[in-house]
Amino acid sequence: MRIGVDIGGTKVSCALVGENKTILSKVSFDTGGGRPYTDVLHDVANSVYSVLDQTGYRLDDVEAIGLGCPGILDQQKGEVIYSNNIAWENVPLVKTLQKYVPKEIYVDNDANCAALGEYLCGASQGTSSSITVTLGTGVGGGIILGGSIHSGFNSAANAIGHMVIVSGGMPCTCGRKGCWESYASITALVRMAEEMAEQFPDSLLAEVKKRSGPFNGKNIFNAARQNDPAALKLLDKYYYFVSEGIIDLINVFQPQMIVIGGGISSEGDYLLLPIIANVKKGVYCKQVPLPQITIAKLNNDAGIIGAAYLKGYQATAVNPGI
């Protein structure tokens, strides 16, 4: 029996996860922008006891607790070094939470946790190496090599959204220009849709904006499915940018599988097949088998399940406290 916690910019979810990696009980609460980390972690502790109460289990029945959090984390110290999404810096996650919950606690980046969840019981189950790419507000990624999370010697690896794919391109929040997430995130897709609607005011894409308000992934794809030329042109451009980053990941790592997650992954083959076609044309070595590229299976539960099973799957030595 384990407990997984997924700390996000807007919501925190906590779940009791059984030995067969199924969620037995789950609670969520709003992160609350700007709240002190001590308040958030106090609520996490309450959530831990809540999921136990819902199922009749006790803390003694829990082997370990895992926390996934955006940003750069020091797994050995159990600290958040820096997280822009929730405005945390040098936060002692493990020490603070253990004041309320005296158990072994492990921490890692939320994208790493999602990758581990997919590896354990989702799309990449049965592989020895995989990369999970999450297309959302930004572009996140988690890398599994040899059955363990690859974090780098300093726990700061896997910032795949900040690979530059367009030299001197769009400014990124990180301070560089041309980063992958400036072109492949949903934020970027919406920005490009705004530009396309302005360029083609008589298009269905422009009509969608007038009729339903702000763009999102769903209404953009709906316009394309109705064969709107502007929407189709937009998605061709978007597929190209998503593919460019995936090509770079394949050229460097050659994983058995690339898993695409995030809300937009619900578009299924309409998203996947054009990306696969682009990747086949663009990879460096076309004489070897292409890694399988597929859609994530666990959706929002991947990070919670992965966090719950951090114990035993982190490549670096971890001091979980207690």
Average pLDDT in the chain: 93
Q: Considering the domain boundaries, does residue 261 fall inside one? A: yes
Question: H or E segment at 190?
Answer: helix 186-199
- Does residue 313 form part of some domain? no
Q: Is residue 133 domain-shared with residue 32, that is, in the same domain? A: no
Please tell me whether residues 154 and 247 are part of one structural domain.
yes
pLDDT score recorded for residue 152: 87
Are residue 143 and residue 287 in the same domain, yes or no?
Answer: yes
Same domain assignment for residues 63 and 197 = no
Q: Which domain holds residue 38?
A: 2-116+301-308
Instruction: Decide if 209 contacts 197 (C-beta within 8 A).
Output: yes
Query: 9 pLDDT band (50/70/90 cuts)?
Result: confident
Output the pLDDT for position 166: 97
Residue 317 located in a structural domain: no
3-state helix, strand, coil in the chain (%, to 5): 40, 25, 35
Q: Does 320 fall in a domain? A: no
In angstroms, the CA 29 to CA 316 distance is 31
Q: What is the pLDDT of residues 33-62, one digit of tens each?
A: 789 999 999 999 999 999 999 999 999 999
Residue 317 has pLDDT above 60, yes or no: no
Contact 290, 49 (CB under 8 A): no
Structurally, how many domains does the chain consist of?
2
Rounding to the nearest 10 degrees, give the CA dihedral for residues 267, 213, 232, 269: 0
Q: Is residue 319 part of a domain?
A: no
Tell me, yes or no, whether 34 and 164 share the same domain: no
Q: Which pLDDT tens digit goes with each residue over 131-149?
A: 999 998 889 899 999 989 9
pLDDT, position 87? 86
- Rounded to the nearest 5°, which phi and psi values hold at 119? -70, -40
What is the pLDDT averaged over residues 97-126? Answer: 95
Same-domain check for residues 59 and 140:
no
Decide: 112 and 66 in contact? Cβ < 8 Å.
no
Pair 89, 130 in one domain: no
The pLDDT assigned to 167 comes to 96
Q: How far apart are CA 183 and CA 74, in angstroms?
A: 29
Same domain, 278 and 142: yes
Residue 207 has pLDDT above 80, yes or no: yes
Is 194 in the same domain as 216? Answer: yes
Asked if 256 and 228 sit in the same domain, the reply is yes
- Regarding whether 191 and 96 lie in a shared domain, the answer is no
- What CATH number is associated with residue 96? 3.30.420.40
Length of the chain equals 322
CB-based burial of residue 34 (10 Å sphere; 0-12 exposed, 13-18 middle, 19+ buried)? exposed
Is 97 in the same domain as 57? yes
